[in-house]
Amino acid sequence: MQTVPDADIGVSLTKANHVGIAVRDLDRTIRFYRALTGRDPFVAEDMRGVEAMYGPKVSDRVGPGGVRLRYATLRLSNLNIDMIQFVDPEMGTAKALPTDAGSMHLCFEVDDVQAVYDRMTAAGIEFDAPPFTFTDEHAHHGAGTRVAYFSDPDGVNLELITPAGSFSRG
């Protein structure tokens, strides 16, 4: 169990660099995110011996016998997306529902959720439900925010947002 400090420890982690997503088929995932972002990865390569770089705790997490993976990184204007396909050891399958502790989602900010939703559904992307607008009843400080939820080919929870109120970033 991870320690939870009782007070600010003075490290000020306020800027994210990337989010990592474990994927079953790197080439398929690159095509999916390229279709959504219009961008190609700025790096794509194979890696071997990851545990040698980080020590035995990584081997404890991924299994004995070494690690070989393929990865690519896609650069957005404010965050990189690392897409990682473990080749050895063979990948398992995680099912992380939004209601599962530890599950995460990646949210893309757009100017018009409805317009993006319409284009994506026309391209065959399935959403969990049509776009939804928060009201005072749902999120008082974020009233007017529009969202829509969908998944990538590996089941990663994704969101579109047109933020309002406290959900706005600037």
Structural domains for the chain: 18-88 (3.10.180.10), 105-167 (3.10.180.10)
pLDDT score for 68: 77
Predicted TM-score (pTM) of the model is 0.81
pLDDT score for 16: 85
pLDDT score for 130: 96
pLDDT score for 66: 62
Query: DSSP string covering 21-88, please?
Result: EE-S-HHHHHHHHHHHHS---SEEEEEE-HHHHH-HHHHHHH-SS--EEEEEEEE-SS-EEEEEEEEE
Q: Which parts of the chain register pLDDT below 50? A: none
